[in-house]
Structure 1
Amino acid sequence: MSKDDTLLTPDNHALIMIDHQYLQLLSVRSHTVEEVVSNAVITARTAKIFDVPTLFTTAFAERQELIKEIQVIDPEQVPIDRTGLNSWDDQRVVDWVEATGKKKLVMAGLWTEVCLAMPVLSSLAAGYEVYIVTDASGGSSPEAHERAVQRMIQAGARPITSLAYLSELQRDWKYESTATDVVNLAVEMGTASGHGLRWVWQLQGLKEGTR
């Protein structure tokens, strides 16, 4: 893969997961809770599989923790906790991004129209190329989510979904060091492709988790 590749690759970006916490989650109305959690987990675990630098952030963590399914992916990481709505206003976040040396950022967050949109717009203005994982994010209403996504796209953000992110980083099944983990993640999270793989394995008489 060339360094000027227009696609996301494991080594050309960093991931920021913004405020996937219980209060925000329970007030999401653009998606079901199950959809948001599942897609956020796929996104964060994808980054883990491919060793992508990943940052978790929270707001008022003493009142609401990071969703357990997200924190367990990197249990040693202490999320950057803020009081401000725009995580890009927190110098610790900016410092972390700069330390990665990456100019491409992938972001997902709750709510889409506030805690995701603000840092996306700010980081775009700062010269970063930003991708938004729309199905790992959620808003206070379907309209709030869609208007926020439209606004970010109009500003230059590039929309992507959690499974598209997973597939784009794998890209070629010849990369066997990650292929098994990618397949098992799709199966474990109950995706349509995962159920298809289970069926293929059944027909071929293979044990689950093999290729």
Structure 2
Amino acid sequence: MLKKDRVAFIDQRLQELYPTQPIPLDHKDPYTLLVAVLLSAQCTDERVNQVTPALFDLADNPFDMAGQDVEKIREIIRPCGLSPQKSKAIKRLSEILVEKYQGAVPEDMAALEELPGVGHKTASVVMSQAFGVPAFPVDTHIHRLAQRWGLSSGKNVTQTEKDLKRLFPIERWNALHLQIIYYGREYCSARGCDGTVCDICRTCYPERKNPKKTRKA
């Protein structure tokens, strides 16, 4: 199957499977989404959703969060891992939002990436899911599937993001990001599929007999 045919099949199949794409992280506005995405680094969405209710009971806006003690934040978010760094980042970014943006989350990629604890992927998620701006956040799971499906041979998530953006129309980026995540969790997980098991892998590479080795992000 040629790459263009794989792209068309994958696009169609994912739209059939996931016509709607609910956002996995519970939130009520751009600020709570930003904090939730920050917490999701090296942590499952399920765990984040278990932790954020207590955190947002404590403070659900940058004004209130900026006034909290770092140790109090850290104690609540401890189950998410990396709590020393994440608690400091949450407090400091909240202070910056108050000082520089009147408490609003900036609708700007560069401004988001300047915030403590906010990398390119986190900023991309906020831009796409909070503001509807086309972005294609790539995590290690999307990186793995893009290689299994022959969409990218990138050595890192940065190259994979560039490859996927070239292959799919911009109006599909936001939905595709979530659709690939859902598909990866349900059918093409790291352990559940090795590139020879799930429907998309078998359709794209019917002759593939051996597991597909993927470059780690």
TM-score (norm 1): 0.29
Larger helix fraction of residues: 2
TM-score (norm 2): 0.29
Q: Which has more radius of gyration? A: 2
Larger strand fraction of residues: 1
Q: Which has the higher contact order (CA 8 A, sep 6+)?
A: 1
